[in-house]
Structures are given as structure tokens and as C-alpha cells.
Amino acid sequence: MASGGPSTVPRMGDFRRALFGYRRADVDAALAARDARCWALERDTEDALEGWRGAADAAARAEEELSSLSAMVIEREREIRGLRDQLAEASEQHDRRLASLESVSSKLEEIQSQARGQATRIRMKALHEAVEVGRRAQELTEAQAGAAEGPTVDTGDAVERAAKGLYEGIVRVEIGPFDDFSQLVGFEDAAGQIDATSEISVERFSEGRATISMHLDEPVELLRELEERSPLDFRVRRTAEDNLILDVDDDPGSEQRAA
């Protein structure tokens, strides 16, 4: 069978012939060369086999690592799917809780609105009762004082002060209509800030109009002070020596507003 590579054994024609055949030295040299070649081939074969075995072991280890990594990837994907499911469930729970909180908040606002309305009605009722009691007490006190001492007010001076726009002593101011109780409170606070005011009280509050009793310790331009301090615009309906009737003006530009 023909060899795939070039032969390293000398051809027979290269041997020198001796008396009884070929020269022994040439034959021994050829055999030695063949044996060396065979040994080299065996060594190369063993090295190649050893290298193949090492490569096979490395491939096996790589295969094991690849299998391990594949298992880790599969496990991580499973964990990621689980986390996504948990996140979706948490998001749904958050939406449900948010909707529940909005419902509770709406109910609380409704309850607070009802409570404010109820509190306002209670305050208004208490104010009506307090005004009525104060009015009756004031009438009784004035009647008793009038019966015991008689009139002591100099009406001439009072008329003169009223003509000059000056008011002193007890003055009643009727004003309205108010849209809500807070407007009355604001006007009462403004009147109480006048320096000459020592006492102030609401005697009556009915159908949006209030009568406020003020005690002024010294003559004061009451209309000017009220106009400067009041958060409401008003018109003067009537003036007298001890009382004023004012109408809340919805049109701030009215020419009939208090000067």
C-alpha cells in the first residue's frame, strides 16, 4: 500500500552491493533512520493525543460551565418573571388602595362640609339667642337707668356732632345684607379696631342684616373710620345722632358709597 508522504528509507538502489548482498552498514543506517522516524512519529502521536485529551477535558469543562450558566440564566429568567408578576400585583393593589383612598377622601370632604354647615347653623342659632338676650337685657337696663336718673344726654350737642359726622357714646349700626357669617365677623372686627371703641357687640342678626352696638369713648368720624377699615363696601341709607343704617354695596364704584 502506497504511503501518503515521502519515504525516509533509502531506496534499494542506493545501497552498495557487497559480495553476498548489500553492505551491512548501509542497511543498519537505514534501519536506524526508520526506527528514529518511527519513534518521532510515536512521540508526536503521543503529544497530539495528550493535547487532544487536554482539549477534550477543556471542552468538557466548558460544556459543564455552559450548562451551569444556562441553568443560572434559566433560573434568573424565572426569578425575573416572578418579580414582574409581583410588581404587577403590587401595582394593582396600589391602584385599588389609591381608589379606596380617593373614595375615603371624598367622603371625608363631604363629612367636613356637612360639619362646617352644622357648626355654622349652631353658631347662628347661638348668636340669635345671645342677641335676643342682650337686646332684652339692654332694654331693661336702659329702662331702669331712665327711670332712676332721667335723661342726661344733651341732645343739642348730639345733633351738632351728628351734623359734623362725629359720634360718641353708644351708637347702633345696622348693616346688611351679608352673604355669610364670615362677612359679619369681618365687619365686627374692623369696627372693633377703631381706637375710640371700648365695647362692641352684635345685638341682632336676622335675614342677613345685623345690628351692632358700639360704645365710643370719644367723638370720632365713624363713617370715615368704618370705610377705611371695613373689608366691605357700603352705602349710607340713613344717619341719626345715635345710629346708622348701612347697606352692603355689591358695586364698589357706586357714587352713593360713604364718603
d(CA 107, CA 85): 33
pLDDT (0 to 100) of residue 74 = 93
Q: How far is CA 195 from CA 156, 184, 189, 217, in A?
A: 25, 20, 12, 9
C-alpha cell at 26: 548501509
d(CA 80, CA 74): 10
Q: pLDDT (tens digit, 9 = 90+) per residue, 162-201? A: 556 789 999 999 999 998 888 999 999 999 999 999 999 9
pLDDT (0 to 100) of residue 257 = 42
Is 116 or 110 the better-scoring residue by pLDDT? 110
Q: Note whether 213 and 170 are within 8 A (CB).
A: yes
Is 4 or 198 the better-scoring residue by pLDDT? 198
- How many other CB atoms are found less than 10 A from the CB of residue 48? 10
Mean pLDDT value across the chain: 79
Q: pLDDT (tens digit, 9 = 90+) per residue, 34-78? A: 889 999 999 999 899 889 989 998 999 998 888 888 899 999 888
Burial state string for 9-34 with b = 16 or more CB within 10 A and e = fewer than 16? eeeeeebeeeeeeeeeeeeeebeeee
- Asked if residue 259 has pLDDT above 90, the reply is no
The residues spanned by each domain of the chain are 18-124, 153-248
- Asked if residue 19 has pLDDT above 60, the reply is no
d(CA 82, CA 102): 30
**Strand segments (E) across 76-231:** 166-176, 197-206, 209-221
- Asked if residue 122 has pLDDT above 80, the reply is no
Which of these, 188, 169, 168, lies nearest to 178 by C-alpha position? Answer: 188
- Asked if residue 155 has pLDDT above 70, the reply is no
**Strand segments (E) across the chain:** 17-18, 21-22, 166-176, 197-206, 209-221, 234-239, 243-248
- The whole model's pTM is what? 0.39
- Asked if residue 141 has pLDDT above 70, the reply is yes
The H or E element containing residue 65 is helix 24-149
